[in-house]
Amino acid sequence: MNRFVSTIVSMSDTDSEPAAASAEPDPLSSSRYAIPIDFAHPGDSRAVVLGLLAPEPSRILELGCSTGLMTQVMAERGHRVTAVEIDPVAASLAAPFAHEMFVGDLDSVEADGQHLLSELEAEGFDTVVAADVLEHLRDPTACLRRVLGFLKADGRVILSIPNVAHGDVRMSLLAGRFNYRDRGLLDRTHVQLFTLESLLAMIREVGLAPVEWKRVVVPLGGSEIEIDENLLEFGRRILAGDPEVETYQWIVTCQDPKAVDFEPAWPELRSTELTVSNVLGMMNSPSPHPGVQEAVVPADVVGATQASRFGRRIHRLLAWSRDQLVVRLVR
């Protein structure tokens, strides 16, 4: 029986087709993320998530199912999927593939503590899938904590999270740009932005432990964010050695630590000392970085005025101080 539950769409408790949404389909909202899953492409995070599911039929709670591309695959593999989606148009497209469909806001909590999924069975699910949804919530930690009550003691949570600290975002910020887009790392509907550190903090706070990591990797300059080639060269130098600089998305499988009989996979956070040292080293370079054009300063600005001579003395003093700091860092 497919059950369509919503505060927006009327409830249907029959085996008939799900109740239709009252609004006309909006091509932007219903098809925005409706890109076919490419199982042959290592960069399709949805294919990675689906590959992590148990091969045998299981009960899955899918948060943010959109138009149901993943829901359909899971159902065809024999899984019983309870899906959640805030957009009623997208939910109506996904509902035929779900055992149950809840339409509403995962952030919303009533005064008495009730929320969209309160009626679900406690410890009823083998897996919770949150593929590219938590970054769209105002309080993803609270939402994740709530849904854990529906997870079996040995159940798994599979999260797919974009990395806002990808090198292309860092270089774009260095150029003073942070331009939102319809999709990607700077999706205009993202509310929370995750780095590896903040992702680990959320996992710890809800009482989970990471047991397996997958990464979608996009080289510097290869994302949807346009970066000037000079900045890319600079970025490749100063970000060298950062293991997450080309991580576009993390796909992490988590469990209750009490259910894990091996050491959880907590990655080591990188110290900022290496990046600082690289930056200072480049500043101390006697010649400009290869490929970087030096800015031409108008003559009327660099004329030998008393103020400019004083400025050059200050500049030399700062350069000497910087050199001393670099020497101390190297030691």
Confidence of residue 142 (pLDDT cuts 50, 70, 90): very high
CA dist., res. 256 & res. 258, Å (int):
5
- Tell me the residue type at 330: V
Q: Which residue has the tokens 């910020």?
A: 173
pTM for the model stands at 0.77
CA dist., res. 226 & res. 232, Å (int):
10
Q: Tell me if residue 11 falls in helix, strand or coil.
A: coil
Task: Please report the pLDDT score of residue 319 as a whole number.
Answer: 64
Residue 136 near residue 63 (C-beta atoms within 8 A): no
List, as one string, the DSSP characters of 97-162.
G-SEEEES-TT-B-TTS-BTTTTSPTT-EEEEEEES-GGGSS-HHHHHHHHGGGEEEEEEEEEEEE
Buried b (16+ CB within 10 A) or exposed e, 279-288: ebeeeeeeee
Contacts of 209 by beta carbon, 8 Å cutoff, 6+ apart: 203, 254, 255, 256, 257, 260, 264, 266
Task: Please report the pLDDT score of residue 22 as a whole number.
Answer: 36
Q: Which residue has the higher pLDDT, 274 or 95?
A: 95
Residue 209 near residue 259 (C-beta atoms within 8 A): no
Task: Please report the pLDDT score of residue 310 as a whole number.
Answer: 57
Superfamily (CATH H level) for 3-268: Vaccinia Virus protein VP39 (3.40.50.150)
Lowest mean pLDDT among 87-96, 110-119, 245-254, 309-318: 309-318
Per-residue pLDDT of 306-317, as tens digits, reads 555 555 566 666
The domain spans of the chain are: 3-268, 278-330
Residue 8 pLDDT exceeds 80: no
Q: Are strands 59-63 and 125-131 parallel, antiparallel or unpaired?
A: parallel
Q: Which residue has the tokens 């709530």?
A: 146
Residue 102 pLDDT exceeds 60: yes
Which element (helix H / strand E) includes 214?
Answer: strand 209-217
Per-residue pLDDT of 205-261, as tens digits, reads 999 999 999 999 999 999 999 998 888 888 888 887 789 999 999 999 999 999 999
Per-residue pLDDT of 170-187, as tens digits, reads 999 988 999 999 889 999
Per-residue pLDDT of 18-73, as tens digits, reads 333 334 444 444 555 678 999 999 889 999 999 999 999 999 999 999 999 999 99
Per-residue pLDDT of 249-308, as tens digits, reads 999 999 999 999 989 999 988 766 666 666 666 666 555 544 444 444 444 434 444 555
CA dist., res. 2 & res. 18, Å (int):
7
- Tell me the residue type at 283: M
